[in-house]
Amino acid sequence: MNSNSLPLFPLQSVLFPGGYLQLQVFEPRYLDMVERCHQSGQAFGVVSLLEGGEVRRRLSGQASFVRERFNLHGTLAHIEALEKPQAGLFRLRCRGGQRFRLLSSEQAPHGLWWGQAELLAADADVAVPTDLLPAAELLQTLLHKLEQGAAALDLPLQPPYRWADCGWLANRWCELLPLPPDERQRLMQLDNPLLRLELVADQLDRLQIPPQ
The residues of the chain scoring below 50 in pLDDT are 1, 212
Cα first-last separation, the chain: 42
Q: Please state, in angstroms and rounded to a whole number, the distance separating the CA atoms of residues 172 and 204.
A: 13
**The predicted structure's pLDDT at residue 21:** 94
Domains of the chain: 3-119 (2.30.130.40), 130-206 (1.10.4060.10)
**Max Cα–Cα distance, the chain, nearest Å:** 60
Q: Residue 113's beta-bridge partner residues?
A: 8, 107
Q: Please state, in angstroms and rounded to a whole number, the distance separating the CA atoms of residues 128 and 134.
A: 10
**The predicted structure's pLDDT at residue 209:** 62
Q: Please state, in angstroms and rounded to a whole number, the distance separating the CA atoms of residues 162 and 127.
A: 10
Give the tens place of pLDDT for each residue, 147-203.
887 777 778 888 899 999 999 999 999 999 999 999 999 999 999 999 999 999 999
pTM attached to this predicted model: 0.91
Question: In terms of C-beta density within 10 A (0-12 exposed, 13-18 middle, 19 or more buried), how is residue 174 classed?
Answer: buried
**The predicted structure's pLDDT at residue 4:** 83
**The predicted structure's pLDDT at residue 212:** 46
Q: Please state, in angstroms and rounded to a whole number, the distance separating the CA atoms of residues 148 and 140.
A: 13
**The predicted structure's pLDDT at residue 190:** 97
